[in-house]
Amino acid sequence: MDNVTHTLFALTLARTPLGRGGRGTTAALVLASNAPDIDIVATLGGSANYLAWHRGPTHGPLGIVGLGVLTATLVWLGRRVLDSMRTAPQRRPLGIASETGGPPSTSVNGWADAPFPRLVIISTIGVLLHILMDLPTSYGTRLLSPFSWRWYAMDLMPIIDVYLWMILAAGLLAGSWRPRARQRSAAIALALMAANYGIRVAAHQEALTTAAKVYGPTLPAPCDPSAAFGSLLDSWPHAGGSSCLVDTAAIPSFGSPFEWRIIARLPDEYVEISGNEAARIANRWTPQVSAAARTRTAQVLLGFSRFPVAWEFARPSGGTTVQFTDMRFAMGPTDRPLQARRAGLFTATVRLGPHNEILEERFGE
């Protein structure tokens, strides 16, 4: 999910008993709920570096423990700094005795400081919930990295779900207007949030079931049973075959939880089902595509992609341009050239010379 959703969710949790563990718990929840996305620093090395590391180790077992302890430490140190500033001696005019600053207070406005072990537990919960919220998105996450770089996803949510925004924001606003009802408003928001997920699970499975009934008989048998229609938790990469169904998915839309785009991956093409229409998109790997795929830029994108597709076209001046993208992020009419409608982050472009020598490689269209 996006960081706005993670932050709104953390502030909602802070109004539950989880946030009443002492002074510092709200800060710990907010920071921990965003901590795994610290891998954004990888963008300093360029788009390829970011795509290679995003939702990697910071979203795995070591990240849960390490970021939980790190967040708790930052909150604990920050609290001590604020306390020392609050109790520091004030400068007085000559002849007037100055008050001595004692040790930092352990209570502010009736709130006792949360002990460090409790901050660690709360921070670890915040990091874990961040990862569990990323799992239902179509982007996916590498749950076991760095021990395994396999991707996992449930394909229930887009990266930004406006319905979660509205539910969580409304709950926080209602609690602000009526402070005595904060906990009740948070409980209602969390219940509506769970209902949103439940509706998406049901709609997702219904979309896959319908596609299997209507289009399943026209497709080859799956290479692996996990690639069949109907799976809720998916993982990749998949081992392909010469004439079998490699993978299938129902990709959520941004606007409605009842609109889904079905993607079926075959060895040399894709079948894309949207509504009552199905389109076939070729994915043939020519010698030029194979040469372009050996570049680092293409390797990074292909390592990320669940449904990689290659698009090739010759240049009038000689040579070939090859673009790789991921069908999950292929939005819009399927009869338009893929390279004309892909987000730059999920498109790798490689220019080849007349003898398939690499002239340029970059992210973007």
| pTM score | 0.87
pLDDT value of position 239: 74
Q: What is the pLDDT of residue 100?
A: 41
The string of DSSP codes covering 102-160 is -SPPSEETTEEBPPHHHHHHHHHHHHHHHHHHHTTBSS-B-TTTTT---EEE---B-SS
Whose tokens are 């930004």? That residue is 160
User: By the 8 A CB rule, do 140 and 153 touch?
Assistant: yes
Please state the length of the chain.
365
Residue 117: partners with Cβ closer than 8 Å, 6 or more residues away: none
| Alpha-carbon Rg for the chain in angstroms | 25
Q: Which parts of the chain have pLDDT scores under 50? A: 92, 94-105, 332-342
How far is 22 from 111, CA to CA, in rounded Å? 6
28 vs 271: CA distance, rounded Å = 46
Q: Which two tokens stand for residue 30?
A: 């907010």
Predicted confidence at residue 179, as pLDDT, reads: 73
Among 264, 324, 269, smallest CA distance to 291 is for 324
Cα gap 71→29, rounded to integer Å? 9
The gap from C-alpha 129 to its chain's centroid, in whole angstroms, comes to 12
**Sole residue written with tokens 């597709």:** 309
Q: What pLDDT sits at residue 106? A: 58
Contact assessment for residue 58 and residue 36, using Cβ atoms and an 8 Å cutoff = yes
In the DSSP assignment, the letter for residue 220 is: P
Residue 225: burial class (beta carbons within 10 Å; 0-12, 13-18, 19+): exposed
The full set of domain ranges for the chain reads: 3-89+103-145, 287-363
Both tokens of residue 8? 């709104």
- φ and ψ of 292, to 5 deg: -65, -30
C-alpha angle 194-198-201 in degrees, rounded to nearest 5: 140
Q: What's the rounded Cα separation, in Å, for the pair 117 and 127?
A: 15
